[in-house]
Amino acid sequence: MEVDFEFEVGPSKEGVQLSIKSRMGRVLKVTSIEMTEQEALRLAEVLTRSVQERQAKALENPPDAEEPIN
């Protein structure tokens, strides 16, 4: 069963509120994280770096055509 994600970012007392909604079938989960603007910027940096590293690895070691991509 596939999981769908939605992300929402909005203002909060501390700075920024990130809400992550995941839906799998009829089950909906919501996680909300309140953080300062500096923490939000740091999170964005960490996520960007992680994605770039994974993309670079994928280019260096492409999966075999016969293997399913998860």
Calpha distance 58→53 (Å, rounded) = 9
Domain-embedded: residue 65: no
pLDDT at position 2, please?
84
Q: Give the tens place of pLDDT for each residue, 1-16.
A: 788 999 999 999 989 9
**Which of 20-57 are b and which e, b meaning 16 or more Cβ less than 10 Å from the residue's Cβ?**
eeeeeeeeeeeeeeebeeeebeeeeeeeeeeeeeeeee
Q: Give the tens place of pLDDT for each residue, 16-59.
A: 999 999 999 889 999 999 999 999 999 999 999 999 999 999 88
- pTM for the structure as a whole: 0.68
Cα 9 to the center of its chain, rounded Å: 12
pLDDT at position 70, please?
57
pLDDT at position 61, please?
85
Better pLDDT: 46 or 70 = 46
- The residue segments making up the domain with residue 11 are 4-60
Domain-embedded: residue 19: yes
- Specify the number of domains making up the chain: 1
Residue 66: CA count within 13 A, CB half-sphere: 0
